[in-house]
Amino acid sequence: MNSQPKTNLNELEQSNSEEIKTITLLLAKISNRSPSEIKPHLDTMLKRLVQSERERSFYETATPAEWSAAFTEWVESHRGLNLPILSDEAISRESIYGERG
């Protein structure tokens, strides 16, 4: 297989069709199932692998500067909502926990 990641499942299947066929036949032999039973499972696994390669989460890839920018953007997105400002009393430990404090 190429060391460069494929971003398209069809491209991956076309460029590696012989390897995929070999894997399908080996899995069929190991599991005592027909290649037609194995192929949908292998296709699903390949889709997941390709998808996970493309769609890594923000938290997995973001730099500290990107985190900061995203947080600032999130804060700014709430400024126009005219939400009430809570008093110190409203956010005090006692008002939150009461007698359990």
Residue 20 in any domain: the answer is: yes
Asked if 50 contacts 7 with a C-beta cutoff of 8 angstroms, the reply is yes
Total structural domains in the chain?
Answer: 1
Distance between CA 73 and CA 78 in Å, rounded? 9
Indicate whether 101 pLDDT > 60.
no
- Per-residue pLDDT band for 65 (boundaries 50, 70, 90) equals very high
What is the residue-averaged pLDDT of the chain?
84
pTM for the model stands at 0.45
Residue 89 in any domain: the answer is: no
Residue 73 in any domain: the answer is: yes
Q: Six-digit token pair at 54?
A: 């493309």
The predicted model gives 27-39 an average pLDDT of 93
Asked if 52 contacts 9 with a C-beta cutoff of 8 angstroms, the reply is no
Print the domain residue range for 72.
9-79
Distance between CA 51 and CA 54 in Å, rounded? 5
